[in-house]
Amino acid sequence: MSYKLGDVLISREEIAKRVKAVAAEIACDAERDKPLVIVGILTGAAFFLTDLVRELPEELDVRVDFMSVASYGDSTKTSGVVRIFHDLKTNIEGKNVIVVEDIIDSGLTLSHLLGLLKGRNPASLKVCVLLDKKERRQVEVSVDYCGFSIPDKFVVGYGLDCAGMWRHLKDIKYVIEE
């Protein structure tokens, strides 16, 4: 199967504006006297996480770590099998944690990941996603901070890819299967 780029769904200007708003929500909720561990899910969330943490106030004690998990491979459909390629280096026990993900659709990957992280006894565990495809949800996952709700279409750009292509795009665009 081959793919081509479709129209812009969310422009770089809309993304920048919403990232600032989400960072403001997080800053408002954050406890000033406790470290906040931001866990980015590689590779897709790297762009969003980078811009997000740069918008957080300097007085917050923000720690950043990454995990690499996957359930898509080279397809536009989830396999349902979640694999962990890189785990956290940070001990999250007793800490406030926010998992930052590029997109949630079926909820399978994030649900699995949250179950794993809850077992590590964080003080709190919240979820921040750039994009939410509620129509595709198979497993209910609570999202605390959301950039945009989008329709059930495959999208790329701003960190999201299709078989490794188009992560570098500044806008979020639809993918058309040919």
Q: Which residues are catalytic?
A: 105
Around 100, how many Cα atoms within 13 Å sit in the side-chain half-sphere? 28
Strand order of the sheet with strand 36-42?
A: 83-86, 62-70, 36-42, 96-104, 124-132, 145-149
Separation CA 153–CA 135 (nearest Å): 10
Rounded Cα–Cα distance for residues 131 and 124 (Å): 22
- How far is residue 128's CA from residue 88's CA, in Å, rounded to a whole number? 17
Q: Measured on CA atoms in the order 146, 147, 153, 154, is the torsion positive or negative?
A: negative
